[in-house]
Structure 1
Amino acid sequence: MKIFKTTLIVIIGIVLMLDAFLLPFQFLAFDEGYYYKLFSELKVHEQIGIDDAALNRITQALVSYIDNGSGDITLKESVNGNEVQFYNDKEIQHLHDIQVLVKAARSFLVWMNILMLLCIILLWWNGRDNATHLIKDLFRPFKYAFFMTIVALCGLISLYFIDFDWAFRKFHEIFFTNDLWLLDPKTDRLIMLMPLEFFITFVSKWLTSVSIILAVYFTAGYFAPRNLLNR
């Protein structure tokens, strides 16, 4: 019975860790306003040769396509005074690959959270006769999640400062089965739109959000049970 309960707690902790990383990532990845603000700050539209209105349309189409496939990534815009299809075939295929990856990640996260909910129900059912132990058991996964998240977070922060470019390449090599992500910053507008500085800023904000969730897990794991039991 103890092994069963420990297994449930560990599973819940693992899913909480995944939520800590993937939920803020999704929130940022589909925030059209954040993309537009960052594009404007980096002045990518000036480098590409489009105006602010075109940047807004391109951003809207890009985010909505990655989010749910509804954006028009075959749109045409005036680039340096010439109307052209903004993305070439290679970029369109890579965006399709990203959209497929996003759908898979969402499905994975949904099923993992369903599993976590099932584990919480089983944990409650197993300890419903002892309120003190039940409270401790229900909040213990936050301790597991805190330690697992902080280890992973330290690793990601180390990669961020030591060699972000290497980590960026490894990420693409792991999650993509082709080399379409190897874009040319001189000719491919997608990488002009999202230079390395874009990803560095994005990851920095993402890791900051993960750190906030980490603080919540710490509070829930170490202080919430004590406060509830002392009432």
Structure 2
Amino acid sequence: MKIKYLLLILIPFFIILLNLNLLIFNHNLYINEVNENLINYFNNKEELNFNYTEVEVIHLNDVKFLINLSRIIVYALGILILLILIIDRDISGILIISGIITIGIIILLFLIDFNFLFTKFHEILFMNDYWLLSNNTLLIQTYPMEFFISFFKRLILNIIITSLILIGVGIYVHTQHRPGAS
């Protein structure tokens, strides 16, 4: 029974990080060669090719580390969740409740001022102030605040869609395992 409570925490976290990773590497969001270079840099396929300041490079190294860490966490959570679901096949309720919890978390995040979330996100995840860049830097010119607002909205939409699919699968599994279900 305690394993099910663990899943109620792990699955929403997994859904959020999975969608974040999928969106970060979605080439359709990025339209110029600076962006392509950054995606390839984050994927360990090439080095930074543009004239970033030393502070920008430090920040991009920090971002790359966090992206790689989140990718490892997504894989580990995915494997752990699958193993738990293999052991305990009564998953319909877990899927439904996890989807609802995830949507609840997203609604709460959406209700909070984006600038506040953006600042707190950086203060929590970065151990330095290198994310506080000047407006004339290449990084800020390439990724203005509007980019992050749009990214956040798309992330929220993707997470809600994933959660609704999870709820739908949970309902389907529940109806298939009822006595007399065909």
Per-residue CA deviation, residues 33-64 of structure 1 (Å, 9 max, x unaligned), is 3221xxxxxxxxxxxxxxxxxxx321211111
* Partner in structure 2 of residue 213 of structure 1: 162
User: Residue 21 of structure 2 contacts residue 70 of structure 2 at CA under 8 Å; is this kept in 1?
Assistant: no
* Partner in structure 1 of residue 79 of structure 2: 114
* Partner in structure 2 of residue 72 of structure 1: 47
The within-5 A match list for 1:50-129 is 56-66=32-42, 68-73=43-48, 75-76=49-50, 85=51, 87-124=52-89
Point out where structure 2 has 5 or more consecutive residues left out of the alignment: none
* Partner in structure 1 of residue 115 of structure 2: 165
Per-residue CA deviation, residues 87-141 of structure 1 (Å, 9 max, x unaligned), is 11110110000011111111122222222122123214xxxxxxxxxxxx22121
* Partner in structure 1 of residue 95 of structure 2: 142
* Partner in structure 1 of residue 8 of structure 2: 13
1:222 aligns to what SS in structure 2? helix
CA distance, structure 1, for counterparts of residue 5 and residue 54 of structure 2? 45
CA distance, structure 2, for counterparts of residue 33 and residue 157 of structure 1? 23
Point out where structure 1 has 5 or more consecutive residues left out of the alignment: 1-5, 37-55, 77-84, 125-136
Quick one: which of 19, 23, 37 aligns to 2:18?
23
Per-residue CA deviation, residues 8-43 of structure 1 (Å, 9 max, x unaligned), is 22223332212221112111101223221xxxxxxx
Q: How many positions carry a matched residue from both structures?
A: 180
1:177 aligns to what SS in structure 2? coil
After TM superposition, where is structure 1 displaced by more than 3 Å over at least 4 residues in a row? none
Measure how far apart 1:228 and its partner are: 4.5
Query: Scaled by the length of structure 2, what TM-score is found?
Result: 0.91
CA distance, structure 2, for counterparts of residue 89 and residue 138 of structure 1? 49
Output the aligned Cα RMSD. 1.6
Q: Percent identity?
A: 28
